[in-house]
Amino acid sequence: MFKLNLRYVIAMGWYYGFSTITRGPSYIVASLSLPLTMLFLVYMLSRGALLPYAIIGGFISMISSNALSSAGDAAFLRLELKIQDLFVASKISSTDYMIGIMLSYLVFSFPGLLIYAIMGYIYRIFDPLSAIILVFVIICLIVATTSISFIIAGFLSHIRNVWGITAILSIVLTIIPPIFYPYNYLPKYAIYLLAVSPATPASVLMQGIIGLQPLQLSMAAILVLETVFYFLLAKRFMHWREK
* Spatial distance between the Cα atoms of 128 and 7, rounded to a whole number of angstroms: 31
Q: Read off the pLDDT of residues 53-73 as tens digits, 9 standing for 90 and up.
A: 999 999 998 898 888 888 888
Mean pLDDT of the chain: 87
Q: Does pTM surpass 0.85?
A: yes
* Spatial distance between the Cα atoms of 38 and 24, rounded to a whole number of angstroms: 23
Percent of the chain with pLDDT over 90: 43
Residue ranges per structural domain of the chain: 6-237
Q: What is the mean pLDDT of the segment spanning 62-88?
A: 82
